[in-house]
């Protein structure tokens, strides 16, 4: 079993599109770290996604470092997720995300955009996903910011990444 630690970045969607797209955010980047059975890093991925309805505003650009040039000609969501699945290959993996937000966003976008690719639908099977925040909420005690630092530090301990 391998482990995929996934992080999605999103931009806002104007209410002008509410008749076609009912969500307030749209994915603009898929980031991931693929870990082996012993949690050793195998590979990383950063895939930009062109939003269909969303607009990358100054705040999101400053917060994420993502620019309009990076997403302007990026693949649309279906192609980006297929690229992610190709990158994973035939490895069996469990997906970890910090909170359930990324899973819900990906699932909602796939459904609302009418994506029916069987490989993508299998990828969003909820049995495959783990909310890492819930897993560690009972195991970490400390100040409000300490659980996040400690949990992420544990998760990435083999990657020589430090969380101050």
Whether the model clears a pTM of 0.75, i.e. scores above it, the answer is: yes
Model confidence band, residue 131 (pLDDT cutoffs 50, 70, 90): very high
Give the residue-averaged pLDDT of 103-127. 96
b/e code 126-146 from CB counts within 10 Å (16+ = b): eeebbbbbeebeeeeeeeeee
Residues 133-155 have pLDDT tens digits of 887 775 664 445 554 455 555 55
Total count of domains within the chain: 1
Indicate whether 21 belongs to any domain. yes
Indicate whether 100 belongs to any domain. yes
Model confidence band, residue 161 (pLDDT cutoffs 50, 70, 90): very low
Residues 54-93 have pLDDT tens digits of 999 999 999 999 999 999 999 999 999 999 999 999 999 9
Which is it for the CA torsion 108, 111, 117, 119, positive or negative?
Answer: positive
What CATH number corresponds to the domain at position 70? 3.30.420.10
């Amino acid at each position: 079993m391998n482990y995929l630690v996934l992080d999605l970045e999103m931009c806002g969607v104007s209410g002008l599109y509410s008749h076609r797209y009912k969500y307030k955010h749209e994915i603009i980047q898929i980031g991931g770290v693929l870990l082996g059975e012993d949690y050793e890093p195998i590979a990383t991925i950063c895939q930009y996604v062109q939003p269909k309805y969303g607009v990358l505003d100054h705040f999101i650009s400053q917060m994420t470092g993502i620019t309009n040039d990076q997403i302007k000609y990026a693949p649309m969501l279906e192609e980006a997720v297929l690229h992610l699945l190709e990158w994973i290959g035939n490895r069996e993996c469990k997906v970890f995300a910090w909170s359930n937000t990324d899973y819900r966003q990906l699932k909602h976008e796939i459904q609302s955009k009418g994506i029916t690719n069987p490989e993508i639908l299998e990828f969003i099977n909820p049995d495959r996903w783990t909310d890492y925040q819930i897993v560690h909420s009972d195991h970490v005690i400390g100040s409000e910011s300490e659980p996040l630092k400690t949990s992420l530090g544990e998760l990435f301990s083999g990657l020589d990444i430090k969380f101050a």
